[in-house]
Structure 1
Amino acid sequence: MDSNVLFMILCALTTGLGALPVLLIRRISHRQMDMILAYTAGIMVAASTYGLIPASLKLTNLYVLCIGVLAGALLLNLLEQFIPHVDVQHDRLQVLLPYQSFMMVIAMTLHNIPEGLSVGASFASETEHLGAVVALSIGLQNAPEGFLVALFLINQKVNRYFALCLALLTGFIEFIASYIGYKLVNMALFLVPYGLAFAAGAMLFIVYKELIPETHGHGYERVATFSFLLGLLSMIGLVEWFR
């Protein structure tokens, strides 16, 4: 098996690995959730600004970068407008997920598509270590995402093991997107900088629109801020390690 494809599979599997704790727990404190989301946000910001954007600029120019970043953000914005968005309901002590439709799962699955495309495009670019760095960064932020999907389903009285399978399914969609991006860019290498910038824009949109607002306003802003910085530095450290 192609080592790049193996990396893409492992990246997608992290969604299911992140969901594994739901087999043991049912609820999580809001403080813990804020810390997880803030750490994830830090990883995504570092991956975008320290990995994807510089790599895109090395391959092209500022105009292409701007087009790609704005396209990624606009796509996520359109998805949120046309797909019913399910927000997490919570009180001071616990995160209480609503008993609503499976649209949250669909939305999170669709969020995985540009992430998968970015992984595939990164490997296809043949830029040294870029594919591994992007796959690792997205894999790290997939874990809490898989946990949220599975926890949401369990609070809808879905069987724990079935919830885990559905979380794995969202990761499988990401792998399909990765493979498509890998093959597409191999056929048209000029798409690589657009794909990298697109992924950066999509990730930054999620961070600023979803993750950061969710971690503030509930009394845990300070611990969330330090969790964000820890995630940021962790990702920068990984990038430097691969260089």
Structure 2
Amino acid sequence: MVFNLGIFISALCTTIGALPALLFSRVSHRLKDNLLAYSAGIMVAASTYALIPSTLKLSNMFVLTIGMLLGTVTLTLLEVSLPHAELDHIVPSSNRASPILLIAAMAIHNIPEGISVGISYASHLDDLGSLVSFSIGLQNIPEGFLICLFLISNEIPKIPALIYTVFTAVIELGSSFIGLQLTDQYLNLIPYGLAFAAGSMLFVVYKELIPESHGDGNERSATFSFIIGLLTMIFIIELFR
């Protein structure tokens, strides 16, 4: 049950990150942008130093290309078809964002993250599951903080805001168990799943996190935060080797 523990801890990190947000009513754009950029750096490293190399180890460039394109197209279709609110700007109370739209937005983010964790454990590659679950859990901490704080800033009471944030973690947890179902009888699908998860995560980074972190004039500090997040994940990967 070690893999289940890793999956639960990864999702739990969203809740851990949300708890400090209960102490705030607002946060500066600079801090928000730096947290988003740091998360982006972690996700890029997890994709390029763990998921993509593992895909190539199990298969070939053709599988990697097909899987990544499928992940990108799927996230594009989800974003177009699901009504959702962006997490880039805190809106004034006179024009509050709907919690349902915010939850839909985070579902778009969390589904590929959960799938990547589950598939990584299903691949049975040495330490891949632990590495990916740790990396996703690490970036879930600032993500949970931002989700909860965004809800509170839109005048959602703090306890319901925490519950909504926990629900986004449940979505990721459910996605993890979907990815985990790719066991031995579906062994040939696992490389596609790893590539799919990488493509999905890179889509989220480039389409959502980087633009959001550069939207309020904090491009330089956000860039450094991105690099620090990237280096943090590379350091963790090297520790596992």
Report TM bin, short chain.
Answer: over 0.9
Preserved contact between residue 11 and residue 135 of structure 1 (Cα < 8 Å): yes
Tell me, which stretches of 5 or more residues in structure 1 are unaligned? none
Q: 1:20 to 1:49 in 2, by over 3 A?
A: same
- Between the aligned partners of 2:215 and 2:23, the Cα distance in structure 1 is 29
Which residue number in structure 2 is paired with residue 189 of structure 1? 187
- TM superposition score normalised by structure 2: 0.93
Tell me, which stretches of 5 or more residues in structure 2 are unaligned? none
- Between the aligned partners of 1:132 and 1:56, the Cα distance in structure 2 is 16
Please tell me whether residue 221 in structure 1 is matched to residue 219 in structure 2: yes
- The more displaced of 97-106 and 77-86 is 97-106
1:184 CA displacement? 2.8
Percent sequence identity over matched residues? Answer: 55
Q: Give a deviation string over 1:149-204, Cα, whole Å, max 9, x none.
A: 21232233322112112211111121121122112334311111111101100110
Please tell me whether residue 164 in structure 1 is matched to residue 141 in structure 2: no
1:220 CA displacement? 1.4
- Between the aligned partners of 1:175 and 1:41, the Cα distance in structure 2 is 20
Please tell me whether residue 153 in structure 1 is matched to residue 151 in structure 2: yes
- Between the aligned partners of 1:163 and 1:89, the Cα distance in structure 2 is 17
In the TM superposition, what are the counterparts of 1:23-42 in structure 2 within 5 Å? 23-42=22-41
Please tell me whether residue 99 in structure 1 is matched to residue 83 in structure 2: no
- Between the aligned partners of 1:151 and 1:78, the Cα distance in structure 2 is 28
- The more displaced of 120-129 and 78-87 is 78-87
SS of aligned partner of 1:84 = coil
1:89 CA displacement? 5.9
Amino acid at match of 1:39: Y
Q: Give a deviation string over 1:73-111, Cα, whole Å, max 9, x none.
A: 111111111122323464xxxx54651222121221242
**RMSD value, Cα:** 1.5
Please tell me whether residue 50 in structure 1 is matched to residue 53 in structure 2: no
- TM superposition score normalised by structure 1: 0.93
- The alignment of Structure 1 onto Structure 2 pairs a total of residues equal to 238
Q: 1:186 to 1:107 in 2, by over 3 A?
A: farther
